[in-house]
Chains A and B, each alone.
Chain A
Amino acid sequence: MTPLDPVRVEILANALRSITDETFVSLMKSAYSTNIKERKDHSTAILDSEGRLVAQTMASPIHVSSMLGMAATLRARYGAPDGGFQGIEDGDLFVANDPHVAGGTHLPDINLARPVFHDGRIVAFICNIAHHADVGGMAPGSMAGGMTEIYQEGLRIPLIRLFRRGELQQDILDLLLLNARVPREREGDYFAQIASCGLGHRRIGEVIEKFGGDAVEDAFRQIIVRTGHRIRQGIAGFPDGRYRFEDFMDDDGCGTEDIKIAMEAVVEGEKITFDFTGTDPQMTGNFNVTMNATVASVCFAVQALLDPECPNNQGLLDAIEVTAPNGTVVSAVAPAPVAARANTCQRIIDVAFGALKEAAPEQSLGASNGANTTLVFSGVDPRSGEAYVYLETLGGGLGARATKDGKDGVQCNITNTSNLPVEAIELEYPLLVEEYGLVEDSGGRGKYRGGMGIRRSVRPLDHTCSFNGVGERFRYAPWGVFGGQDGQPGRFVFTDADGTETKLVPKPPTSDLRPDQMITVETPGAGGYGPETERPAELAEADVTSGKVSA
């Protein structure tokens, strides 16, 4: 057939976006996990007959990389020599989560993929991924620090069929559920994902019926080709050259410190490659990242710098090449633990921004808080006698930009989850929040100031609770760019009954906290942009009068 005109492609692209939106909402509504229902920690996508990404509605680019990782595993297993697939039948539904053998990024993210057949062959896959509240392993939630092997992190699911020719494989589901802590809730999450795949399958069928299979496949192709062309045009705008950058993570909570992430970006015309040679070997603790999550992080950085409005599909991903030697912290191999990978993904993005700052000075920014600062308070509520766990991740500074200050107190890079209201915390848990505010002087000075970190002080009410936490950029400060100064690193502080303050390690292990004691977290600020001498006088004055910066 002759290629579709650009009007038809746009209308089809709109229809596909409607499908991923609708399946996203349907998954959110019917799931059981609070993670999915309320934090929207899930994504949906349509892949083409080769398993390439066409359209998505996503919570995170890391999710997309997991779905594509699963598709690559499908291709490796079932790919026909002349393209397409063999050995997959209509009504099959695949499930997987393993980062090392099935393209996943950490075990709680459960991936589903359902092939769509038309005229006897596969024309698309409907995929979704959702962060389950628990997949077994050593600790509730399957995310705790201190784990040193993936086996401790939960159930590893290779690429397997949950449905065969439309029939649920009950014995497989029984196995999956037995390995989760609250099987009844997880069953709800699985069925929400299955139903969302079914809905997407039906909707894509309607689109194919309306426009014809050939037209839909041509639209898939054009969407990817046009996006690839678009992003390569953007890359060509970067000056050719080699751009190097490196940064260090504080530690892995298991004894490894000063973990180096090194990168060289090479721009040649419309081609860009990122090489992580020189990055430290994978670590003992669970901050390791598998290659496909590293690719997603780098692609995020490029898109954010170049073209935030660019459709996110295979065309974008294929325009960017990422390499790393096997077995580094950004290309971890089995049996590396990976549960807390998000902290490292944040840092990979910082490093990519750092490398490309000379190539795109107008779009780049000082380093942001670059972490997922996490607090966990747990204990038994003296009011009800019931156990509780309060976990929260806090934002911090966003890096200063070429034309304005960094935003104070926000999530950065690929994290954008909201906080829990103080009133919700105190109604639900026997805790008192003593302070919640911005950390004065934490934004790196510069022509434009880096964003400020967040301070939160918490103490238990009428009982002794347990506390642990995860901090990053608590030793290695968020750096400034083009003469801007570094932002202030974060810290955990323990205040004893007599007012004595003690600074804790960046990843404090579980310890007791009495009602007359208090934990304060100050999350990292962010780096400044340009020399402070060039700071507009009115901004400098406003910072001092508002108390954001001391005189």
Chain B
Amino acid sequence: MAWIVGVDTGGTFTDIFAANPETGETRCVKWSSTPDDPSRAILTGIEELSRLHGIDLKEVTALAHGTTVGTNALIQRTGGTVAMITTEGFRDLLEIGRQTRPSIFDLQADAPAPLVPRIRRLELSERVRADGAVEKPLDLETLPSLIERMAECGADACAICFLFAFLNPEHEQAVRDRLKELAPDLRVSLSSEVQPEFREFERFNTTAINGYLQPVMEGYIDRLADGLAALAPNATLGINQSSGGLMTAETARAFPVRTALSGPAAGVVGAVHVAKQAGKPNILTVDVGGTSADVALIQDYAPDVAPERDVAGFPIRLPMIDIHTIGAGGGSIAWFDIDGLLKVGPKSAGAVPGPACYSRGGTEPTVSDANLILGRLGEELADGTVRLDKEKAIAAMMPIAEHLGWTVEQAALAVLEIVVSNMVRALRTISVERGHDPAEHALMPFGGAGPLHAREIAAELGITEVLMPAVPGIVCAQGLLVAEAREDFVASRPMVLEPGCEDSVASEITALAGRAQEWLVGVGATAENGRTSLVADARYVGQNFELRVALGETPMGQEPDVPSLKTMKEAFFAEHERAYGYANRNAAVEIVNLRLTGLVKGHDLNEAGLGEADGAPKTRGSRPVWFNGDAPHDTAIYARPDLAAGSVIVGPAIIEQLDTTIPIHPGDEAEVDRYGNILVRIAS
């Protein structure tokens, strides 16, 4: 018997999800997070998994983890003391960045100060030219004095960032080798290893962030790995990357910047898994928590990937699942702006003091209070372990109602309408504005508060189907179990696509394939589960931004086909047409980066699923629920564990479960599939 375990650390709870692919059994534990050291909650939670469900931890073969340690260190600025060694004449490059401000109107708003202040940005004489040739040889004479400077500043990590190191990494490597001799305890990050692509600011910044996170991530991974070795000695640890693939603990220690969006990316991977179960290839996801909502787009079971994203105000240039976040969640506060219009969020009551109805001292009206007032949330949550106070919710909402001259229910409905319109805007941004029609997608809400708002969001976007995962609160942990192992290899060599370039393209691909094969062998992949995927970042000559052009996949062990000039150009034109609506077939095209990604298929869960329903599901009583402002409906309450495969419920209804509540609006029809997911068809 072998168990595999997925662990997702959230702000409030650590979710642990275990599956046994042989038997199809699944188990789940929720444990309070320990933000000062998240590994504590994980290890206790795993012990709990064993105690509650009788799982022998020696039988756990893999543990996959989505971590927020890196993200939080960036947000809270609690990383290490990182220094930088860069090309002479360019030490301020990191501080100037792209010379832009976050807002043109706000005179007080600045981009965050660089993680490496000027005093720790040091220079060495060296220079490589745009063709990779050495303009000025590297002078290591002054390195000992730089080491002294770093020691005086208390630096515990060093980012080595030279111009054109993505073309010629020799100078960076020479400095690293010498540092290893002279300062063996100093952690080192090379721009040519962290992100070997052109555009120096993004590369330097990504490398600096890597150095900044190294001390934090090392300690964390070590504690987790040690604890795990003691509890579950046969489990290999995999860490989720922002791109939605797993890496080894060792890689995570060396490249912690890859975990910047580890947690949310796991959610989207989990959503893909649920989408496959339900046979719905095109999905818009909305993951609603207490403070924010993350939205993403899935097309043909694949999430959209962005080449760069801001995390905590810093641009990070690495492939990441394209997740758009807005300040809208259960704790979002309703307020009147100076011009008298009602707003909801981005300010949130958070976990403390929390929504008024949680009786933890919150007095401002929130989205959760509105849901409680309308009866959409019950007064008991999580099987009665959490009690909500409707009187407190009403008291908090009353000023809004009085200001509008409305009933408290009408005010609560207004709060929901506004928060929904904010989420709709975010979803339009990632769909309509990128050439996708939301009406051709199903909406998948998850997170504790997602299902509460899904129906209204869908209606606004012309979406007719809402897919509610079986356990919306653990989609992230589930995603970790099925995530693929992934490693990206990149060659950043601008090449114009013209006759004669085929040989250079071929030799780059061959070199990448060699590195990918070595990695695949190293992680124990086979021809059955390992493969490579080739992508070119291409653009018209003279443009400044590239499009990702997919050039096919190859099973492990086979040499990737070198695409012909015509194939590459046609693939670029097709992508340009999709993204921008036209393609100029006469203009010159260039490749900026070639990317080969090694992938190893994740676990197949073979979930046992639910039994077939015999007859209508039983109800657990009823309560009045407001679906509109006129009058409440007397609404049947169902418990999700009572539902079986094939159960059909026609709204109005409320379905309650441990981690969420699902309102089924009047006339809508909800049907349970064999995996326990609910597909809601919206009444026209």
Residues of A in contact with B (beta carbons under 8 Å apart):
5-7, 9-11, 13-15, 17-18, 21-22, 25-26, 29-30, 34, 37-38, 188, 195, 226-227, 229-230, 233, 300, 303-305, 307-309, 311, 363, 365, 394-395, 398, 401, 403-404, 407-414, 416-424, 426-428, 432, 434-438, 454, 457, 461, 542, 545-548
Contact = CB atoms under 8 A, between A and B. Distances in A.
Given A21-B433, A437-B90, A437-B91, A13 B341 contact: yes
A230 B339 contact: yes
B435 to A, nearest CB: 8
Contact of A38 (B164, B199, B200, B543): B543
A404 B112 CA distance: 13
Contact residue range for chain B? Answer: 35 or more
A10 B582 CA distance: 36
A10 B342 contact: yes
A547 B118 contact: yes
* Interface hub of B104, B111, B418 (most chain A Cβ within 10 A): B104
Interface stretch (B179-187, B272-280, B424-432, B521-529): B424-432
B105 A300 contact: yes
Contact of A409 (B96, B199, B339, B580): B96
Contact of B417 (A7, A421, A461): A7
B106 A418 contact: no
A414 B429 CA distance: 25
Given A418-B100, A546-B118, A6 B106 contact: no
B130 A427 contact: yes
A548 B118 contact: yes
A420 to B, nearest CB: 8
Contacts of B105: 300, 303-304, 308-309
Contact of B96 (A401, A426, A436): A436
Contact of B338 (A233, A421, A423): A233
Nearest to B421: A14
A14 B425 contact: yes
Given A6-B341, A229-B339, A423-B198, A410 B432 contact: no
Nearest to A210: B460
Nearest to B581: A30
A10 to B, nearest CB: 4
A545 B90 CA distance: 18
B103 interface: yes
B199 A395 contact: no
A244 to B, nearest CB: 21
B414 A7 contact: yes
B340 interface: yes
Interface string B419-445: 001101100110011010000000000
A420 B96 CA distance: 12
Interface of B: 89-93, 95-96, 98-101, 103-111, 117-119, 129-130, 135, 163-164, 198-201, 336, 338-343, 404, 414, 417-418, 421-422, 424-425, 428-429, 432-433, 435, 494, 542-545, 579-582
Contacts of A546: 117-119
* Interface hub of A10, A30, A398 (most chain B Cβ within 10 A): A10
Contact of B100 (A394, A410, A437, A454): A410
Contacts of B93: 422, 436-437
* Interface hub of B106, B341, B579 (most chain A Cβ within 10 A): B341
Nearest to A438: B92
Contact of B340 (A226, A403, A411): A226
Given A300-B105, A545-B119, 14 more contacts: A10-B343, A18-B425, A188-B582, A308-B103, A308-B105, A308-B107, A395-B99, A403-B108, A418-B98, A418-B100, A420-B544, A426-B164, A435-B90, A437-B93
A416 B95 contact: no
A418 B104 CA distance: 13
Contacts of A411: 99-101
Given A7-B342, A7-B404, A422-B200, A417 B100 contact: yes
Given A9-B341, A34-B544, A437-B90, A421 B200 contact: yes
A283 B599 CA distance: 65
Contacts of A304: 105-107
B199 A410 contact: no
Given A18-B425, A30-B582, A432-B135, A226 B339 contact: yes
B129 A5 contact: no
* Interface hub of A195, A230, A304, A437 (most chain B Cβ within 10 A): A437
Contacts of A195: 581
Contacts of B542: 34, 428
Nearest to B110: A407
A547 B89 CA distance: 14
Contact of A416 (B101, B417, B580): B101
B429 A21 contact: yes
B410 to A, nearest CB: 9
Contacts of B89: 434-437, 457
Nearest to A31: B580
Contacts of B99: 394-395, 409-411, 418-419, 454
Nearest to B344: A10
B417 A11 contact: yes
A307 B422 CA distance: 22
A426 B200 CA distance: 12
Contacts of B429: 21
B129 A426 contact: yes
A432 B421 CA distance: 50
A409 B544 CA distance: 22
Contacts of A13: 341
A419 B96 contact: yes
A222 to B, nearest CB: 9
* Interface hub of A229, A420, A461, A546 (most chain B Cβ within 10 A): A546
A547 B123 CA distance: 13
Contacts of B104: 413-414, 416
A423 B198 CA distance: 7
Contact of A408 (B95, B135, B579): B95
Nearest to A28: B580
Contacts of A29: 435, 579-581
A469 B339 CA distance: 45
A13 B422 CA distance: 11
A201 B435 CA distance: 18
Contacts of A9: 341
Contacts of A426: 129-130, 164
B101 to A, nearest CB: 6
Contacts of B582: 30, 188
Nearest to A428: B542
* Interface hub of A18, A363, A404 (most chain B Cβ within 10 A): A18
A30 B339 contact: no
Contacts of A22: 428, 432-433
Contacts of B164: 423, 426
A11 B164 CA distance: 49
Nearest to B414: A7
Contacts of A395: 96, 99
A305 B579 CA distance: 39
Contacts of B579: 29
A427 B542 CA distance: 11
